[in-house]
Amino acid sequence: MVVRRPVTGGLEQLEILYNHGSGDPSLLSVTWLSTVEGVLGWSWLQPLHGQADAFALTEQPTGEVEGSLTVTTHQGDQTEPLSATFTAKAVKFRFPPSSSCGFPEGDAAP
């Protein structure tokens, strides 16, 4: 899941990757980035930094997922706590015809 927002002087992006396929959700990585001059990014990666301090994910009957997380993000030797709550719903996205590859509906690229 990726969320971007414009801020004074640039953009901020929060990326949350998790595995929910097994029915037992697990957090894989959290990255916060900024394009604002002088502001650096922070990241937490499960294989490098161990388990999240907290992670919960619930799938709703509406198809939405609700979740919360707390991790200790890293930037070199520095650390900083990051907490987030979210509600998201996957939707199908289709590029407009002017940007498509020209393949008809259902056809795969060769």
SS3 97: helix
Query: How confident is residue 104, by pLDDT bands cut at 50, 70 and 90?
Result: low
What pLDDT does residue 41 have? 94
What pTM does this model have?
Answer: 0.78
Give the number of residues written for the chain.
110
Tokens 């609700």 belong to residue: 66
Confidence of residue 102 (pLDDT cuts 50, 70, 90): low
Domain segments of the chain as ranges: 2-92
For residue range 7-55, list pLDDT tens digits in order. Answer: 999 999 999 999 987 778 999 999 999 999 998 899 999 999 999 999 9
**Cα–Cα nearest to 28, from 81, 75, 69:** 69
